Amino acid sequence: MKLLRLGITGIFAFGTFFYAGAQIKLNKKALESGSKAVKAVTLSDSEVIAYTKEYIQWMDENNPVAPPEDVLAQRLEKLTAGLNSYDGLDLNFKVYLVRDINAFACADGSVRVCAGLMDNMSDEEVLGVIGHEIGHVKNTDSKDAFRTALLTSALKDGVSSQGGAAATLSDSQLGDLSEAVANSAFSRKQESKADEYGYKFLKDNDVNPWYMAMAFEKLLATSGDNTEKKKGAQLFSSHPDTEKRIKASAQKAEKDGFKRPE
């Protein structure tokens, strides 16, 4: 996933609620910190989760989170009803009122969906994307990527846990971490497995899994020649095999006897 620095570019309307046409904010205060070599640091899973919680708290505090009365927040709450405990995971969901056509999930089960994505997709397509992101958590992709980001950014000065307790990250270190997370990418194999999880997620929740392929189609369309669209379509556009993934999901749905929705 690639998250972009906050930048007000206009006003977009959804229903009777308005949100600034911003992009997800990343703190870049600490980019002058130098390039010290990464020291050998061992992080347990529990420590990675502790840092993840600190990171997502910082993200929620520094990005416009939709309040409960917002139409998008209410829509997401309805879509994810009953999913806070799913497949052995404790999940929580929020909407960021930013124009990015994006969504991401963290190792602690925090799932964040951007307004730009919700504006461009149907409920079923949004659920497909959410299922894909949950797949990254279930497959430990999110945790592994976050651990790497910690060791190459926030902890690059050798800050690590001592005596079994994770050290608190400074605002400066959180800035480095957000930059590293934004620049990370999952492998094709990881993406393929997350696609499969998202497909099954839709089926298990009584949603036509064709919507998985249809969500990919919309993401591919928004990563076209339009520069403004390119800025928002971050979720899958960096993967050159997106068309193959669309075809694979569509063929699987057809094989399973599902018809493409009108």
One-letter-per-residue 3-state SS of the chain: CCCCCCCCCCEEEECCEEEECCCCCCCCCCCCCCCCCCCCCCCCHHHHHHHHHHHHHHHHHCCCECCCCCHHHHHHHHHCCCCCEECCEECEEEEECCCCECEEECCCCEEEEEHHHHHHCCHHHHHHHHHHHHHHHHCCHHHHHHHHHHHHHHCCCCCCCECCECCCCCHHHHHHHHHHHHCCCCCHHHHHHHHHHHHHHHHHCCCCCHHHHHHHHHHHHCCCCCHHHHHHECCCCCCCCHHHHHHHHHHHHHHCCCCCCC
**Residue that is written with structure tokens 């990015």 in the block:** 100
Amino acid at 202: L
Point out the residues that are catalytic.
Answer: 133
β-partners of residue 95 are: 113
